[in-house]
């Protein structure tokens, strides 16, 4: 049997990192997706191949105890570990361990802060369960994909996996593992990309070290981010874009205080503001990766300003499509 599944990338508008400590966050899914093609084999061998945007490919073949890897991009190798773990967790859930061939294709830069690891995990689980003809609710899918992120990264909030599973503009409540949908059309945002110098697991661990060293001080910043998310929700509901932008700027400053920004991200954030954005911040775990600017009517100026400081503007718009899966033969 052949199955095709896909899941969207996401932007964190507000609240990354603090969400790991139970604070709310606001996320937004985009029209660029991760695609997973899965074919069930007649033996127990697992072959995983990933092809990414502008970075070449990576392959993993697991046959019994033997593991062979071919990589020309480290970031793709990391995404293969999410696929491998997702298969393990999905096999356990289905009570079936069949050999499969998987091809992952991403329309997003991998490991850039746009939720690609969550999208890869959710789409792989959805594809495997459909191939095994096992019932899987969206709630169960989000829960299993979250387990993949925890096991691969060491620590993760349910934000990314919940967002890419359901799709939409979401107010995430991590403590309750639930969300509320916020009503809005397409927000006029521009996303800028710069290669990452670190990965999500290391960045989350870095913030954890800060919390352990200076708990009172750092938890104050984290709680302030949580309050800011609630203000941002009100501003979004009132369609007050000036306020949303200004809160994005404050959120960026607080993320910088947590040590997750970089010179390149700051340059892009400042360039976007100077080009007329109402607000700009890094999005995702930081350490390079992506930033997002809210810039109604100034999209082209903001894209040019990002290019001028060496950033890559990514064409993307809002899409409320979550995980999708279908049998193709």
What residues line the site for ligand PMV (CB under 6 A)?
A: 16-17, 19-20, 113-115, 117, 156-157, 159-160, 200, 204, 284-285
What are the residues whose beta carbons fall under 8 Å from the beta carbon of 163, sequence distance 6 or more? Answer: 10, 27, 29, 115, 118, 170, 172, 179
Shortest CB 182 distance to ligand PMV, Å: 18
Distance CA 286, CA 67 (A): 31
Dihedral sign (CA 274, 184, 159, 8):
negative
Q: Which of 31, 72, 160, 230 is catalytic?
A: 160
205 - beta bridge partners?
none
Shortest CB 270 distance to ligand PMV, Å: 21
201 burial type by CB count under 10 A (0-12 exposed, 13-18 middle, 19+ buried): middle
User: Is 230 labeled as catalytic in the residue annotation?
Assistant: no
Distance CA 107, CA 8 (A): 9
Distance CA 307, CA 6 (A): 30
Distance CA 257, CA 70 (A): 39
Whichever of 115 and 279 has its CB closer to ligand PMV, that residue is 115
Shortest CB 224 distance to ligand PMV, Å: 16
Place of tokens 């491998």: 84
Whichever of 159 and 221 has its CB closer to ligand PMV, that residue is 159
Whichever of 91 and 200 has its CB closer to ligand PMV, that residue is 200
Residues 294 and 319 sit within 8 Å (Cβ to Cβ): no
Whichever of 20 and 228 has its CB closer to ligand PMV, that residue is 20
Shortest CB 2 distance to ligand PMV, Å: 29
User: Shortest Cβ contact with ligand PMV: which residue?
Assistant: 284
Shortest CB 3 distance to ligand PMV, Å: 25
Whichever of 17 and 32 has its CB closer to ligand PMV, that residue is 17
Distance CA 117, CA 114 (A): 9
39 - beta bridge partners?
2, 101
Residues involved in catalysis = 160
């Amino acid at each position: 049997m052949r199955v095709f599944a896909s899941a969207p990338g996401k932007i964190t508008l507000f609240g990354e990192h603090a969400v790991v400590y139970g604070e709310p966050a606001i996320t937004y899914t985009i029209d660029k997706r991760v695609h997973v093609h899965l074919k069930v084999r007649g033996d127990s061998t697992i072959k995983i191949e990933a092809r990414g945007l502008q970075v070449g490919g990576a392959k993993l073949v697991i046959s019994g105890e033997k593991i062979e890897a071919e990589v020309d991009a480290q970031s793709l190798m990391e995404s293969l570990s999410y696929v491998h773990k997702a298969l393990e967790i999905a096999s356990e859930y289905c009570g079936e361990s069949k050999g499969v061939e998987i091809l992952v294709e991403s329309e997003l830069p991998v490991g850039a802060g746009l939720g690609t690891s969550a999208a890869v995990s959710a789409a792989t689980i959805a594809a495997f369960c459909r191939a095994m003809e096992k019932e899987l609710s969206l709630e169960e899918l989000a829960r299993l994909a979250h387990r993949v992120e925890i096991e691969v990264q060491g620590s993760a909030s349910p934000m990314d996996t919940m967002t890419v599973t359901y799709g939409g503009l979401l107010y995430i409540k991590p403590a309750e593992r639930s969300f509320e949908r916020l009503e809005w059309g397409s927000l006029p945002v521009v996303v800028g990309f710069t290669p990452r110098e670190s990965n999500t697991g290391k960045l989350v661990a870095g913030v954890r070290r800060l919390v352990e060293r200076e708990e009172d001080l750092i938890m104050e910043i984290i709680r302030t981010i949580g309050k800011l998310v609630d203000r941002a929700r009100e501003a979004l509901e009132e369609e007050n874009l000036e306020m949303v932008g200004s809160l994005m700027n404050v959120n960026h400053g607080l993320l910088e205080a947590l040590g997750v920004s970089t010179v390149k991200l700051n340059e892009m954030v400042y360039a976007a503001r100077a080009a007329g954005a109402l607000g700009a911040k890094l999005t995702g775990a930081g350490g390079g990766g992506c930033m997002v600017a809210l810039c109604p009517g100034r999209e082209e100026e903001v894209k040019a300003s990002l290019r001028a400081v060496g950033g890559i503007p990514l064409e993307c718009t809002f899409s409320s499509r979550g995980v999708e899966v279908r049998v193709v033969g």
